Amino acid sequence: MEAENRKLVTPVGALIDVCICGGVFLFFFFVVIPSHVPFYDPFWKNLFTAYTSAVMSGFAWLALCLFRVTRVDYCRAKKEAKSA
């Protein structure tokens, strides 16, 4: 029962997720996306690059959250199977 009371997401885990998503945003904003945006005006190119990078960072955040919850559930089930 003790394992069931443990939080799925801790403040430290959330901070790690935010840092990783920030890194993903910067990677997409500066490395991947700019060459694929078909604008010549720097303002519009940066605007659409930022928008696309934000969407990709959102997907990374969702994937990190799903991975974290799945890992905690797996560890709980593994611990429960050992004790049974």
Rg, C-alpha atoms of the chain? 19
| CA-closest candidate to residue 60, choices 37, 30, 26 | 26
Q: What confidence tier does 58 reach under pLDDT thresholds 50, 70, 90?
A: very high
- For residue 9, the model assigns a pLDDT of 78
Q: What average pLDDT does this structure show over 40-44?
A: 92
For residues 31 and 82, what is the distance between their CA atoms, to the nearest angstrom? 46
Q: Is the pLDDT of residue 70 over 60?
A: yes
Domain ranges of the chain: 7-83
Phi, psi of 8, rounded to the nearest 5 degrees: -75, -35
The average pLDDT across 49-71 equals 93
pLDDT tens column, 7-24: 777 889 889 999 999 999
